[in-house]
Amino acid sequence: AGFTGLLAGDTVNVATSTGTFADKNVGTGKAVSITGLSLGGTDAGNYNLTSTTASTTADITPATISAITGITAANKTYDTTTAATLTTTGAGFTGMVAGDVLNVATSTGNFVDKNAGLGKTVNITGLSLGGADAGNYTLASSTATTTATINQAQLTAITGITAANKVYNGNTAATLNTGSAGFTGLQAGDTVKVAT
C-alpha cells in the first residue's frame, strides 16, 4: 500500500480493510470496493486518514465441479438399441457453493450393450451445466455412469411351423419343420429360431 501525504522516513501501514467485489460472478478486471481502512505502524498516530475507502480490480475465476452425481436411468424393455432415458432432476454437483443454482443442461445415456439384463451399466456423456450460476463453474468431466435394467421383450406367438405327412406307424410322433417359423413381437433386424 502507498500513502499519499506520508512524510519520508515515517512508517505507516494498513491496520484494517475490507474488500468487496461488485458482485459474486466470474469475470476479469472486476471492481473491488475497499472500506474500513485504518492506519497502523509506528507513526500512525501522527496522521489523520481523510478517506476510509478506496477501490481496485481483481478477477474471479470459475470454481470446478469435479463430478455430477445422482443421475438415474429408466429401466426399459429390449428394443435392439442402447438408448437410455435419463432423469437429472436429482443430480448433485460436487464442488458447488451452498445456495447456488445448478442443473444438468444436456446429457445422453446409453446402455453398455443392447441386450437384456439386470443392473446394466449406463454410460452418460455430453454433460453440461445449466442454471442461474452455471457461468461461475467449469465441469471437470462431461461423463458419468449409472445402472438400469433392460427387460426381455415378449414374443407372444410362434407361427409358420409345419408338420410332415407320414405313413401310419402306430404312434403320434410328428416331424416338424421350423425353418419358416415366424415370431410375433420379434424386433426388426433380430435373428431368432426355434431351438428344439
Residue located via cell numbers 425353418: 179
The pLDDT tens digits for 49-64 are 999 999 999 999 999 9
pLDDT at 195: 87
- pLDDT at residue 3 is higher than 90: yes
Give the whole-angstrom CA distance, residue 15 versus residue 52: 11
Asked whether 26 and 60 are in contact (CB, 8 A), the reply is yes
| Beta pairing partners, 124 | 109, 144
Q: In sequence order, which residues have a C-beta less than 8 Å from that of residue 178 and are 6 or more positions away?
A: 161, 193, 194
The structure's pTM equals 0.79
Asked whether 109 and 122 are in contact (CB, 8 A), the reply is yes
Mean pLDDT of the chain: 96
- pLDDT at residue 36 is higher than 90: yes
With cut-offs at 50, 70 and 90, classify the pLDDT of residue 33. very high
Give the whole-angstrom CA distance, residue 123 versus residue 125: 6
Query: Helix (H, G, I), strand (E, B), or coil: what is residue 3?
Result: coil
Give the whole-angstrom CA distance, residue 113 versus residue 90: 25
Query: Helix (H, G, I), strand (E, B), or coil: what is residue 136?
Result: helix
The pLDDT tens digits for 130-173 are 999 999 999 999 999 999 999 999 999 999 999 999 999 999 99
